[in-house]
Amino acid sequence: MMRHAVPAALIGTLLAIAGASHSRAQGIDLSHGGPITVTARDGMDWLQNEQQVVARGDARAVRGTVTVTADTLIAHYRKKAAAGAPPAATPAHPAKPVVPGSADDTGSSEIYRLDAIGHVHIFTPSDNAWGDKAVYDMDQAVLVLTGSDLRLTTPQDIITARDDMEYWSQKHMSVARGNAVVVTSDAKRVAGDTLVSYSEPNAATGTPAAGAGPAGAGPAGGGPAAGGQAGGGQAGAPAAKPGGGDDLAAGSHIKRVEAYGNVSIRTVTETVYGDRGVYLPDSGLARVVGHVRITRGENQVNGVAADVNLNTGVSTLLANENQRVQGLIMPNEASSAAGATPPARAAVRPPSANGPAK
């Protein structure tokens, strides 16, 4: 292993391995925006054989409007491919990392992956993400966060998870696994084992969210909710699409949430449980299917599916020809508060597989 310590005098603007420069912004997207500048308090190591630059102690990487801070940052670099060619394979003789303004600053190397370890915080003017470890795949524009207290916040929404989180910036999509929860700015709450959220920019000129699949169907083809992880490539993961145009100052909001496993959706007065669900925040409508039960205090009704209006607090429990709606109703509790939101109502009609009306 060839290891070279970088002189402390260069720490201020030490490393800038250039990539293609684009003026468009894509939320937490390190795959665009010109050179990446890496700084650190305790110094840096260039590991030539491993083609890595390691920044230690209050390390910081900045590209455009995106900043990554951590105890340690590891930048993986390679020889840059010619325009229009696929990413270059790891060369037998790795290129030297580029110091801005030096004779070697020819733009011949590029960072294709960034690892952040310890007290990770990734942020833009509008979005924030926290975790213990992060891996950012530049080729796919995918961020994977692991560790404790995983959080992704925008001005309108908060997403938390126990196991891991993925953020697909160019698809405007995030995946949260393990006791995952989405809370909107108006206190609506959706939880499940896995949540797949699709967002769109608040700016009128932004590109609408892409990739929202039909409700009631799991993530297709080994996609993100199937458990793939970025960092060194993801088998079966959807390819990132170029394009977009978020206004970072305006941020984005969640357009659709798909929930899988132990789903719960809370209104002010009741909670709806089921196996799968879809929630559309703009309309406040949700559809929950599979072993559905609606609880309000000591009251509970069961059915095969439910339509929930989180804006009005009215839930419609659905049955089919083979399974009737059933439940336990406590009349005194249901009528105790004057003007209370109407209780869940029952309907006998086949639940649609396409989720709530858009």
229-241: average pLDDT: 35
- Domains of the chain, with CATH numbers? 3-259 (2.60.450.10), 267-348 (no CATH)
CA atoms within 13 A on the CB side of 177: 16
Predicted confidence (pLDDT) per residue in 179-188, tens digit = 999 998 888 8
- The string of DSSP letters for 152-206 reads EE-SSEEEEESSEEEEEGGGTEEEEEEEEEEEETT--EEEEEEEEEEEEESSTTS
Q: How far apart are CA 287 and CA 274, in angstroms?
A: 10
Cβ atoms 129, 122 nearer than 8 A: yes
Cβ atoms 356, 218 nearer than 8 A: no
Query: Is residue 131 pLDDT above 90, yes or no?
Result: yes
Question: Is the pLDDT higher at 298 or at 61?
Answer: 61
- Average pLDDT over the chain reads 73
Q: State whether residue 300 is helix, strand or coil.
A: strand
Query: Is residue 313 pLDDT above 50, yes or no?
Result: yes
Q: How far apart are CA 306 and CA 320, in angstroms?
A: 12
pLDDT band at 356 (very low <50, low <70, confident <90, very high): low
Residue 169, pLDDT score: 87
Query: Is residue 61 pLDDT above 70, yes or no?
Result: yes
pLDDT band at 33 (very low <50, low <70, confident <90, very high): confident
Residue 28, pLDDT score: 87
| 336 φ/ψ angles, rounded to the nearest 5 degrees | -70, -35
Query: Is residue 232 pLDDT above 50, yes or no?
Result: no
Tokens of 17: 């391995």
Predicted confidence (pLDDT) per residue in 322-335, tens digit = 766 666 676 665 44
Query: Is residue 278 pLDDT above 50, yes or no?
Result: yes
From 107-111, 260-264, 299-303, 320-324, the region with the lowest mean pLDDT: 320-324
> Which residues are 131's β-sheet partners?
120
338-352: average pLDDT: 48
Predicted confidence (pLDDT) per residue in 70-111, tens digit = 999 999 999 887 666 565 554 444 444 444 333 344 457 888
Question: Is the pLDDT higher at 5 or at 8?
Answer: 5
Q: How far apart are CA 232 and CA 113, in angstroms?
A: 8
Query: Is residue 292 pLDDT above 70, yes or no?
Result: yes
Residue 338, pLDDT score: 40
Please state, for a pLDDT cut of 90, what percent of the chain lies above it: 37
59-64: average pLDDT: 93
Which DSSP letter does residue 251 get?
-
Q: How far apart are CA 85 and CA 138, in angstroms?
A: 16
Q: How many residues does the chain have?
A: 358
pLDDT band at 137 (very low <50, low <70, confident <90, very high): very high
Tell me the range of 52-61, 196-205, 234-243 where mean pLDDT is highest: 52-61
235-261: average pLDDT: 58
From 16-20, 88-92, 173-177, the region with the lowest mean pLDDT: 16-20
Question: Is the pLDDT higher at 229 or at 52?
Answer: 52
Query: What's the pTM?
Result: 0.70
Please state, for a pLDDT cut of 70, what percent of the chain lies above it: 61
Residue 352, pLDDT score: 54
Tokens of 306: 């439910």
